[in-house]
Amino acid sequence: MPQDRYFSYKKSQIEKFVKTEFKKKFHSEAKISIRKRKKFIAEMTKKVSKRFGKDILFLINFSKQGFCAVVSPVHTESTDKGSLKQSFSLPQVYYTSHCVDRFSQRVNSQENCIFKLDGHLSEAVLSFGENEGYLTCSEGIFAYELENERMIVKTFINSELLSDDQIKQFYGSSMISMLPLEYTTENISGADFIIENEELLQKAKPQEYS
């Protein structure tokens, strides 16, 4: 109950803040273009995250002069691993506060981190089973463990911090489509290392007899 009261208070603060910022930005009741809407939402996401926390999801109704619908922050619980924050879109996934902080630092994000983490993790779950305890996405690597039918995501390591050996490990032949474009080259002579050489693989294939 105290947590509900705290959220109600925080919700009213956010709604008031967004409404005030909306009136500052848009003085008339004329229609607001998609471009201006996107720009305002991006600005408000950063401001709200910085002021009220990076686990808040809110929606802005531009047809009602900035009416803001605040969705309850993600469920948080205290454990021996520290504070765990539940995913918005993946109910059996929880992020440690360490993971949220590291993700915010490493991708230099001032936006809703849980929302962005969910987007990357939705891609990363496709790599489940490739490397035990790790999931690979185009932005980097998640370290996780399974506990009581839940996935606990412990940290995030962006691709720029990976060594050549780690890139080979996590972005091998089956995951190469997730390799960031800046790690690729059109000419093999410009490569620092090779994950897989298709020409050599073709030559190494055993001869088939009909």
Q: Return the domain boundaries, the chain.
A: 2-71, 76-178
Helix (H) or strand (E) holding 70: strand 67-71
CB atoms within 10 A of CB 78: 9
The pTM (predicted TM-score) of the whole model is 0.60
Residue 161 confidence (pLDDT) = 86
Strand pairing category for 134-137 and 140-147: antiparallel
Domain 76-178 annotated CATH 1.25.40: no
Q: What's the Cα-to-Cα distance from 122 to each of 7, 93, 135, 170, 182, rounded to whole Å?
A: 28, 11, 10, 17, 22
Share of residues in the chain with pLDDT > 90 (%): 11
Question: How many CA atoms lie less than 13 Å away from 94 in the CB half-sphere?
Answer: 20
Per-residue pLDDT tens over the stretch 95-143: 998 998 888 888 776 666 788 888 889 888 888 888 899 999 888 899 9
Per-residue pLDDT tens over the stretch 178-187: 555 555 555 5
